[in-house]
Amino acid sequence: MNDESVNQTSYTDPAVFADIAQRSQRLVSDFMTRHAAEMHEKAVDPANIGGAFLEMTARLMADPAKLMQAQMSLWQDYLSLWQTTASRMMGQDTDPVIEPEKGDRRFRDPAWNENQVFDYMKQSYLLTSRWLEDVVGEVEGLDDKTSRKVEFYTRQLTEALSPTNFALTNPEVLRATADSNGENLVKGLQNLLEDFERGDGKLRISMTDEDAFEVGANIAVTPGKVVYRNALMELIQYEPTTDKVKSTPLMIIPPWINKFYILDLRPENSFIKWAVDQGHTVFVISWVNPDAELAAKGFDDYMLEGPLEALQAIETATGEREVNVIGYCIGGTLLASAMAYVEACDDDNHRGRIASATYFTTMLDFSEAGDLGVFIDEEQLADLERKMDQRGYLEGAEMSGTFNVMRSSDLIWSFVINNYLLGKEPFPFDLLYWNGDNTRMPAAMHSFYLRKMYLENKLVEPGGIELAGVPIDLGTIKVPNYMVSTRDDHIAPWKSTYAATSIFKGPMRFVLAASGHIAGVVNPPVKQKYCYWTNTKKIKDPDKWFDGATSHDGSWWPDWEKWVGKYSGKSVKARIPGDSGLKALEPAPGSYVKKEFL
């Protein structure tokens, strides 16, 4: 018996289907038991999606002439499609009525263009989805919040209804089904059940082969030592790779929404290793993955026990009072808040410690929060706070799910097709492994962050936010600033991050990198990928800034290194972690990054 027949037998064996049935029954039973008690307590529609669409429908129906015009426009588009399809079936060359947008990877299979039926199906879908999104987007009289919510969930609907997401309308799936006698669908069902089991009754889509990676073994492997620890963070100092180093140390504040090793995935794409190789003495904060015991930890606790305590520890370790600091995403928000706090509380113990501040994709003005703002209003926050009060934290998978929905075609439906319809195993990918390595959010911190910054946008108001009892003002920050944002960022839209250029009083260099929130930042020079834009003129309007910007090929990392070099001091003997005022507690990447929960 050859390998192919063995494989076919394994998937057509009645025992396989019996196992699927048994596991399915258990999952359904567990789901009903677990959720029956809490269903009556939950708001049926905490996001008020139904109310938003009802209001949109009422506004739409109030102008029947405009609705009729939109319907006629769709009919004319369909008529053109029918005519071009008929001409093509008779052997004529025709131009498509509509084509996928640049970067839309759903219709890459040749059959979507070569086969007349699938080409018609594709164009019909694109015409209908474009029409629906245009009609919804042109409804007048809706407030901004409702309009964005309707547009966002309409886009989710159109992406979900793509013909690529269904077995009978996806040519690649149909070929795989015919070639394997349906084994792909059986294997896909098994993958689906495994993902439900892995998510304890909730669908947790496998995006990568999680067995292919281990933190500290083949990712997060830059040599270093944990030299300081408190309840919220471990401070890692990395071993030098040069005989001499810059006298001013470098501290990185990563986001605590995910784990720090996004900047240390593998040696070839590790920003941390690259910075070490440039002669920086690099320190990184590794945040703890909190449980209910840390429920009361607030944003000000993260500030006091995070960067401010770390700065003192770095002085003990190196003898240097001044430090260059990088903040990534919410880590940058914390960095700016901490500097404003230091200015406001007039504490000489903390003053003068930051030589320069660098921000990676950081929001400070939240007035234009992009798609993430759809998930933040009073009703949704109240529901979220109710959940967090019960547990003491926000589960990491819930936060990750929100980010995935914002890019559902790439981070949801592509894996539905690969894992469940094609029956394939996900490809090993370090970035997606990190993306699934979720962290929790303490209830007090997360509620403060969402309310005071996203909902009320108080951070940019002088005195609008108090930290540790002290009103802060970002306008008091005078240190040199380097801000890098990314053009395709769906989490921190670059035009929103650009607002910081008008807030700080110190010198500012704003750099716009190509790609998105992660790939635009984690872009080592050796790859020669993407590009970035600079403009030395101080311009308030981001569009005008971009119009006058100069494009540069490759990574922005060397540009930052040239900039930060001006604030990095003289050359000194390389520092070995644990050989000075702070003892080495354990090897990098430490314990906090590996903390998991059952």
- 245 SS3 class: strand
DSSP-H helix ranges across 138-244: 144-160, 171-180, 183-198
- List of residues 6+ apart from 106 with CB closer than 8 A: 100, 162, 164, 409, 413, 414
Q: What is the DSSP letter of 544?
A: H
Closest CA to 561 of 274, 369, 339, 350: 274
- What is the distance, to the nearest Å, from the Cα of residue 338 to the centroid of all Cα atoms in its chain? 24
Asked if 148 and 156 count as a contact pair (C-beta separation under 8 A), the reply is: no
Could you give the count of Cα atoms lying within 13 Å of 545 in the half-sphere of its Cβ? 21
From the list 388, 395, 234, the residue with the least C-alpha distance to 305 is 234
- Core vs surface per residue 167-181: b (16+ CB within 10 A) or e: bebbbbbeebbeebe
Identify the residue whose tokens are 């199906």: 121
Could you tell me if 568 and 281 are in contact, meaning their C-beta atoms sit under 8 angstroms apart?
no
Q: Residue 349 — φ and ψ, nearest 5°? A: -65, -30
CA 249 – CA 332 distance, rounded (Å):
18
Q: Strands 250-253, 224-229: parallel, antiparallel or unpaired by DSSP?
A: unpaired
Question: Which positions are catalytic?
Answer: 329
Q: How many residues does the chain have?
A: 598
How many alpha carbons fall within 13 Å on the CB side of residue 186? 20
Smallest CA-to-CA distance from 483 within 276, 322, 273, 326 is with 326
Assigned token pair, 551: 């494009």
Cβ atoms of 311 and 229 closer than 8 Å: no
User: Which amino acid would we find at residue 361?
Assistant: T
DSSP 372: G
- Cβ distance 272 to 266 under 8 Å? no
Among 128, 173, 178, smallest CA distance to 154 is for 128
Q: What are phi and psi of 368, to 5 degrees?
A: -125, 85
Q: Are strands 323-328 and 354-360 parallel, antiparallel or unpaired?
A: parallel
Cα 258 from chain centroid (whole Å): 9
Query: Are 423 and 188 contacting, i.e. CB atoms less than 8 angstroms apart?
Result: yes
